Amino acid sequence: MLKIRLTRTGKHAQPSFRVVLQEHTSAAKGKFIEALGYYKPADNPKVLTVDAERVKYWISVGAQPSDTVAVLLKKNGFEGMDKYIEPRNKKRKSKKEAGEAAAQPVAA
């Protein structure tokens, strides 16, 4: 499966990322099929530049953007990214709640 994801470039404490198309099994810093743009979160304001036509093409062919890339593309004006974004309302149970749930017997 092809993924559109970020690969980090840039110096220490100055992050910048390439938006690339890769096979999902390849390493994040490994070979990529096509560079689609870049993201510079250190700039003010943050800069996201992508080749919109190529991104739309690869998504239409079956490539899936990663969660982070989908959020960035949605903020940049791409439509239809909601189905690739995971819900953000996941809450971890506190140790107290986890202990109470385990201590209660299950009614049959």
Determine, yes or no, domain membership for 39.
yes
Determine, yes or no, domain membership for 51.
yes
CATH code of the domain containing 59: 3.30.1320.10
Question: Domain range for residue 58?
Answer: 2-88
Determine, yes or no, domain membership for 96.
no
Rounded to whole angstroms, the Cα distance separating 74 from 20 reads 17
Determine, yes or no, domain membership for 101.
no
Tokens of 99: 């202990």
Rounded to whole angstroms, the Cα distance separating 19 from 8 reads 9
Hey, CA dihedral for 92, 94, 100, 103, is it positive or negative? positive
Rounded to whole angstroms, the Cα distance separating 99 from 71 reads 35
| pLDDT tens across the length of the chain (108 residues) | 999 999 999 899 999 999 999 999 988 888 999 999 999 999 999 999 999 999 999 999 999 999 999 999 999 888 888 888 888 776 777 777 666 666 666 665
Rounded to whole angstroms, the Cα distance separating 18 from 14 reads 14
**pLDDT value at position 85?**
86
Within 10 angstroms of residue 15's Cβ, the number of other Cβ atoms is 14
Within 10 angstroms of residue 5's Cβ, the number of other Cβ atoms is 21
**pLDDT value at position 96?**
72
Collect all residues with Cβ–Cβ distance below 8 Å to 1 and sequence separation of at least 6: 23, 24, 62, 63, 64
